[in-house]
Amino acid sequence: MKKRRQQGILTGMPFMANLAPRTFVDDLGRKIFLAKPPARVVSLAPSVTESLFAIGLDQEIVGVTEYCDYPPQARTRPKVGYARPNIEAIVALQPDLVLAPREFMRADVLGKLEQLKIPVYIIEARTIEDVPSNILTLGRMFERAPAANQVAARIRERIASVKQKTAALPRLRLLYVLNSQPLITVGPGSFIHHLIELAGGTNVAARAAVPYPRLNMEEVLKEDPQVIVFPVGSAEGISEADRQLWQRWSMLSAVRQGRLHTIPSDLLNRPGPRIVDGLDRLVRIVHPEAFEGGNSP
Amino acid sequence: MGTGDWSGAPGAGTDVTAVGLASRGSVASGAVGRSSVLTPQRWGVTLLGLGLLALAIALVCLRFGAEPIGFSEMLRVLGLVVRDGEAGAESAGATGVILVQVRLPRILLALLVGGCLATVGVGLQALLRNPLADPYVLGISSGAALGAALAILLGIGTSVASLSALPLCAFLGGLGSILVVYRIASSYGHLPIHTLLLAGVILNAIFSALIMFVTSMMDPNRSFGMMSWLMGTLTAPDYPVLAVLTLYLILGAWVLFRQARSLNLLTLGEEAARALGVEVETVKRTVFFASALLTGAVVSVSGMIGFVGMVIPHAVRLVLGPDHRLLLPASALVGGAFLAAADTIARTLLAPAEMPVGVVTALAGGPVFIYLLAARKGRLSLS
């Protein structure tokens, strides 16, 4: 899934990058022309907010979602909603640009904002490699290329080091439990499936045809996961009810060896700069033996 | 679970009037209630036959699943289980675990839940003298689901699986909505079908809106699971969970079965029933209370599964006639078998993924519902 960013109409020549064209093509293929770097931007996704802060745009972020809790100063910005963005609140902030995720962007909201002449740029990450390239795009958009290059390079380095670490290690069968009753997990086509594979795991739901399948328990027993991962809120553990529920399946390798782990869901659900921290956590869960020294990659 | 009185005056009276109802009702579909004289022999033979049918369907369902297991292999494992209990299941390895820990409890749950829903449907249809009544259509299921959703939001039941405070909250929600339906229904005496359906639709809309609101207050990760559960879900329960649910079912069903003769008389109208010595108000309260109890228990483990409670009593009534002494237990057996079959489709069609069983029952039941409405030009009867 390589993304092709259109370089504008006039040029594709790398040595003219300092004259970067101000036309951008978003992940829905819509063309957006920005005469100058936006001075007021509204972010409709926590991952976008984190990316913007990471390249030093504290001043420009004027509106965020109620889930934007990182970095801490994100909490101080006006909230405009998440799954149901409030158009009035967005308009009142007079943004030059709205950055929105693909999955929660409703066509009616998009249409309304377009009608109000507020440019909306849809940003999406299908795989972890999209995270640094999205940050580079933001860098060009806001003329923060040096900072963006640095952040993106660091992310790419850490991804490469994880790949290198897990290349020689055996793959462990992993079950990722979004919900226990009914059992909902991640399948191919979801961002987290890709992270699991990257971290040296094999997703037991790899045969499912949808990104977030309800998984049949028979399939779980047959695939016999060696590790079970529960995404949880930043401070929670596995709920007592879930714990009891899974202890029943004593024939599963993961249960027998006590390899039920939690992971802060924010670290994996947000394709922003902290995604590599999430990946790290996942690698440490799947392959603790690779970190005997305790040094982070 | 007979009611003892096979030839008393009220019973005989019922039979006569039932024939009267039958001949007036289902002319369009050509199905007239068969021999409506219910003898102990006929009662026993019919229920035995249906019981065997349900058992056969359950065995077929046990054979099918995400994991292919042949009939002979299945019977071999079942034999081991019957002989050595749990040790027998373990000796059969993964196949044993899948059959005994995953598939069997889930089929038993389907039998229980389907049986509960159909039984409640029969009771409500008799009470409201309206063949379209069922816990789902009348908003009782969504009332119970709202109770459960609130419990989850407030952290009373930490997981949808825990059988602690959840059934109680679902029960209270179901009871609340059933009382509203009851108020609306009783303010007219005999309620026109459209008014009742409208009341149900409106209640459903109100409760659905509240459920949506509660869900929107949740963390997206939790609300996703919640939504999924609401669509109607059967999972492989723990045997203790099954035992608790069975207790609920036996209690509720026993209360309803004891009202069978009164329900027979109630289908004649409240005045007539009163004249024949039925304590109408007591019967109503009892049936409503038992319905709320059963619906609450079912919804708290399986979310909202529609159409079983409406379509199954209908089908059974068409074939076996309107006598509730037979209709109630027969509907329980058929409802259970139907849901077990529907859940088997839900489990296997997209394997290894699953679909919500509520989708299957609605797709199977919806067209039947429309057909019934069309065939009888909106004039449905209870016979």
Write out pLDDT tens, residues A136-155.
999 999 999 999 999 999 99
Any residues with CB less than 8 A from the CB of B247 and at least 6 apart, and which? none
Nearest chain A residue to B233, by CA: A182
Work out the angle at residue B176's Cα, subtended by the Cα atoms of residues B254 and B302, and round it to the nearest 5 degrees: 65
Q: How far is A131 from chain B (nearest CA, A)?
A: 22
Q: How far is A138 from chain B (nearest CA, A)?
A: 27
The residues pairing with A123 across neighbouring beta strands, listed in sequence order, are A101
Secondary structure of chain A as H, E, C letters: CCCCCCCCCCCCCHHHHHHCCCEEECCCCCEEECCCCCCCEEECCHHHHHHHHHCCCCCCEEEECCCCCCCHHHHHCCECCCCCCCHHHHHHCCCCEEEEECCCCCHHHHHHHHHCCCCEEEECCCCCCHHHHHHHHHHHHCCCHHHHHHHHHHHHHHHHHHHHHHHCCCCEEEEECCECCCCECCCCCCHHHHHHHHCCEEECCCCCCCCCCEECHHHHHHHCCCEEEEEECCCCCCCHHHHHHHHCCCCCHHHHCCCEEEEEHHHHHCCCCCHHHHHHHHHHHHCHHHHCCCCCC
pLDDT of residue B109: 93
pLDDT of residue A296: 46
Round the average pLDDT of chain A to a whole number and report it: 87
Contact B225 A209 (CB under 8 A): no
Q: Of the given ranges (A45-49, A195-199, B84-88, B183-187), which has the lowest mean pLDDT?
A: B183-187
Q: Does A218 touch chain B (CB under 8 A)?
A: yes
Round the average pLDDT of chain B to a whole number and report it: 79
Measured CA to CA, the distance from residue B290 to residue B294 in angstroms comes to 6
Nearest chain A residue to B351, by CA: A216
Measured CA to CA, the distance from residue B170 to residue B173 in angstroms comes to 5
Q: Nearest by CB to A218, which of B65, B216, B238?
A: B65
Nearest chain B residue to A217, by CA: B102
Q: Nearest by CB to B228, which of A179, A207, A269?
A: A179
Q: Which two tokens stand for residue A181?
A: 């009753």
pLDDT of residue B332: 94
Chain B hits for A180, CB-CB cut-off 8 Å, are: 159, 161, 225
For residue B37, how far is the Cα from the chain centroid?
Answer: 26
Q: What is the pLDDT of residues B364-374, one digit of tens each?
A: 877 877 776 67
Measured CA to CA, the distance from residue B142 to residue B178 in angstroms comes to 11
Nearest chain A residue to B223, by CA: A179
Contact B238 A210 (CB under 8 A): no
Chain A hits for B102, CB-CB cut-off 8 Å, are: 217-218, 221
pLDDT of residue B230: 79
- Of A125, A246, A258, the closest CA to residue A192 belongs to A125
Nearest chain B residue to A264, by CA: B221
Q: Does A213 touch chain B (CB under 8 A)?
A: yes
pLDDT of residue B34: 44
Taking the CA of residue A292 as centre, how many other CA atoms within 13 Å lie in the half-sphere pointing to its CB? 2
Residues 114-173 of chain A whose Cβ lies under 8 A from any Cβ of chain B: none
Q: What is the pLDDT of residues A84-105, one digit of tens each?
A: 788 889 999 999 999 998 876 6
pLDDT of residue A10: 46
Nearest chain B residue to A207, by CA: B352
Between B327 and A233, whose confidence is greater?
B327
pLDDT of residue B321: 87
Q: Does A216 touch chain B (CB under 8 A)?
A: yes
Q: What is the mean pLDDT of residues A113-139?
A: 93
Chain A hits for B94, CB-CB cut-off 8 Å, are: 221-222, 251
Measured CA to CA, the distance from residue A295 to residue A280 in angstroms comes to 11
Chain B hits for A239, CB-CB cut-off 8 Å, are: 158-159
Chain A hits for B98, CB-CB cut-off 8 Å, are: 218, 221-222
The residues pairing with A64 across neighbouring beta strands, listed in sequence order, are A79
Q: What is the mean pLDDT of residues A261-270?
A: 91
Contact A221 B102 (CB under 8 A): yes
pLDDT of residue B22: 38
Q: What is the pLDDT of residues B256-301, one digit of tens each?
A: 999 999 999 988 888 888 899 888 888 888 888 888 888 888 888 8
Q: How far is A220 from chain B (nearest CA, A)?
A: 9
Q: Using an 8 Å CB-CB cutoff, list residues of chain B that contact chain A.
A: 65-67, 94, 97-98, 101-103, 157-162, 216, 219-222, 224-225, 228-229, 233, 235-236, 238, 347, 350-356
What type of residue is B108?
A: L
Strands (DSSP E) along B3-159, which ranges?
none
Q: What is the pLDDT of residues A173-186, one digit of tens each?
A: 999 998 887 888 99
Chain A hits for B157, CB-CB cut-off 8 Å, are: 241
Work out the angle at residue A290's Cα, subtended by the Cα atoms of residues A288 and A292, and round it to the nearest 5 degrees: 80
Q: How confident is the model at residue B338 (pLDDT cuts 50, 70, 90)?
A: very high
Nearest chain B residue to A222, by CA: B94
Percent above pLDDT 70 for chain B = 80
* Block residue for tokens 């909230």: A79
Query: Does the pLDDT at position A228 exceed 90?
Result: yes
Q: Does A1 touch chain B (CB under 8 A)?
A: no
The string of DSSP codes covering B294-305 is: HHHHHHHHH---
Contact A216 B66 (CB under 8 A): yes
Q: How far is B32 from chain A (nearest CA, A)?
A: 42
pLDDT of residue B151: 80
Measured CA to CA, the distance from residue B77 to residue B95 in angstroms comes to 8
Chain B hits for A208, CB-CB cut-off 8 Å, are: 352-353
Between B230 and A267, whose confidence is greater?
A267
Chain B hits for A181, CB-CB cut-off 8 Å, are: 159-161, 225, 229, 233, 235
Nearest chain B residue to A244, by CA: B162
Query: Does the pLDDT at position B12 exceed 80?
Result: no
Contact A187 B350 (CB under 8 A): no
* Contact yes or no for A77/A63 (Cβ under 8 A): yes
Between A116 and A13, whose confidence is greater?
A116
Chain A hits for B225, CB-CB cut-off 8 Å, are: 178-182, 184
Contact A241 B224 (CB under 8 A): no
